[in-house]
Amino acid sequence: MFKSKTLEAYILRRLSIFAGLFILLLYLLLAQFDWSTWHLSLTTGLAAFGLMLAILHFRKRLMATFDRALLHIEAVRMEDYNQYAKCDFPAGNVGAFHRELTALSEYLSTKKLRYDQHAFLIYQLIDQLDTPILVFNERNKLTYANGAFTLLYDQPWQMYRLASAKMLGLSKNDQGWQLEGENQQWQISHSEFIDAGEAHQLLVFTNITSALRASQLTAWQQIIRVMGHEIRNSLTPVSSLAESLAGRTTSERDQKALALISERCHHLQDFISRYSSLSQKMNLDIRQISVLELTERLSGLYAGNGLEFDSKLQWLAADQAFLEQVLINLIKNSIEAGSDSIKLSFKAINGKNQIQLIDNGHGFANLDNLFVPLFTTKQNGQGIGLTFCRNIIEQHQGSIKLENNSDRGVKVTIELPQTQSAH
C-alpha cells in the first residue's frame, strides 16, 4: 500500500508522515497551555505550512541533481559531449555518480573524435578515386558522393544533395541497384553501413566498358590469329608459285598478271602483319613535347587544307611519334570526309589536357561501329585507323570520343593526363 514507484513519491510520502506526526505532537504540547482553539489552529497551521515549504525545497534540491544528470545523458545520446551536469553534492555516492557520468562522456567524446578522423580520412580517399561512389540515407536521399560523380551526371554531386534515387535514375530490384537508361556501361555493387544510428546505402559504380572491350579484343585477336595463319599458309605458296612462273614465261601479259598476283599476296600478308600487331602493347617514350612544334609539323604536312590551330597549352606529356601519328590519321579522315575547315585546339580542362578536332565534313553514318576492327565506310578503307588511334590514346591512359556535330561534321575529343610516367 505504501510502496513507492518513484523516488519523488518516496521522499514526499515519508516526509509527509514525519511532518504529520510533528504537527500532532506540537498541537498536543500547545494544548497544555490553555490556548484557545483559534490560537492553536493558527500556530499549527503556520507550522504545517512552514514544514510543507521545507519538504518541497528539500525534494527539489535532492531531485535537481538527477534532473541535471538526465540532461547530461540526453546530451550524450545526441552526441553532444561538451555539456556537463553540475553536481550539488560533490562527495558521496551522488558525487561518484556524476564523476562516472563525466568520465563516460569524455571517453565517448574521444571515441567520436577518432571515428570522425577515420571517417574524414576515408572520405578523402574515396574522393580521390576515379570510380563514382554514392551514399544514400535510409530514406534513399543522396547524402554524399565523390568527385567522380560527374562521370555519371556531368555536374558536381552537391547540385543533387538530398535528391532521391529515383530522380537520379537509380532503381533497386531483386538483382540489386540499376542505372536506368540506355547507358549500360556501369555495373553497380552496393553494401549497407550504419552511421549515427542510421542505415546508409553505399553504391560503387564500375565502368565495365574496358572489360567488355578487352573481351572483344581477345575475340578479335583470336580471329586474326586463325585468319592470319590460314591466309599466310595459302598466300606463301601462291606468291612463290607466281614469282616462279613469272620467271619462266615469255609473255609480257602473263608476267604482268603474275606480278600483280604476287603483289597482292604481299599486300595481304603485310595487312595481316600490321593488324595482328595493332592491339599489342607499345613501348611508349613519354616526354614533355612542345605543342607549338607539333602544330608547326602538322601545318607543314597539311598546308592549304583549311587546318587551323587554337593552342592554350605549351606542353603535352605524350609519346611524340605516336601522338603525331594519331593526329595525322584524324586529320586525314577529315580531309577524306570532304572537310575544308579543320580546327584543332589544345587546352587544359578538369585537370586533364584536351585535344579537340572539329571539322565540317559529312560526318559518321554509324557511330556505334567506329572502333569495330575491319569496319569501314570508305571504299578503300581497312578499318584499322580509328582502332589504332584508340589503342594509342588508351595506352597513354587517356580517352578518345567521336561524335557528329549538330549541323555538319565531326568532333573528336582526346583527353590525356597532364603528367605521365613512361610505360
Print pLDDT tens along the chain (423 aa): 456 677 777 777 888 888 888 888 888 887 777 777 787 788 888 888 888 888 888 878 778 777 878 888 888 777 777 777 777 777 877 778 877 888 888 888 888 778 777 777 777 777 878 888 899 988 889 988 988 888 888 888 888 989 998 888 888 877 778 887 655 678 888 888 777 678 888 888 887 776 666 666 666 667 667 766 677 777 778 778 877 887 787 787 877 887 878 877 777 777 666 556 555 666 778 889 999 999 888 888 887 788 899 999 999 999 888 888 889 888 988 888 888 899 999 999 888 899 999 999 887 766 655 555 544 444 444 445 677 788 888 888 888 888 888 888 889 999 999 876 544
What angle do the packed helices 7-30 and 37-77 form, to 10 degrees?
Answer: 170
Q: Which amino acid is at 3?
A: K
User: Which pLDDT does position 382 carry in this prediction?
Assistant: 42
User: Which distant-in-sequence residues (6+ apart) come within 8 Å of 163 by Cβ?
Assistant: 141, 142
- What pLDDT was estimated at residue 383? 44
Angstrom distance (rounded) from CA 114 to CA 81: 14
Amino acid at the residue 313: L
| Cβ-based neighbours of 382, under 8 Å, separated by 6 or more | 271, 275, 374, 376
Instruction: Output the pLDDT for position 354.
Output: 94
Name the grid cell of 396: 597513354
Question: What are 11's three cell numbers?
Answer: 521522499
Distance CA 235, CA 243 (A): 12
CA atoms within 13 A on the CB side of 362: 7
DSSP state of 281: P
The answer to whether the Cα torsion of 87, 91, 94, 95 is positive or negative is positive
Q: What angle do CA 23, 28, 33 make, to 5 degrees?
A: 125
Residue 413, number of CB atoms within 10 A of its CB: 16
Q: What is the pLDDT of residue 422?
A: 46
Interatomic CA distance for residues 105 and 85, integer angstroms: 11
Distances (CA, A) of 98 to 67, 71, 108, 408: 12, 12, 15, 79
Instruction: Specify the DSSP element, H or E, that contains 209.
Output: helix 209-248
CA pair distance 209, 229, nearest whole angstrom:
30
* pLDDT score, position 325: 85
Counted residue by residue, the chain has a size of: 423
Cell numbers at 14, concatenated: 515519508
Dihedral-angle region of residue 152 (phi above 0 means left; psi in -120 to 50 means alpha; beta otherwise): alpha
Within 8 A by CB and 6+ apart from 421, the residues are: 286
Check if the beta carbon of residue 87 is closer than 8 Å to that of residue 95: yes
CA distances from 215 to 212, 272, 335, 401 (A): 5, 21, 33, 20
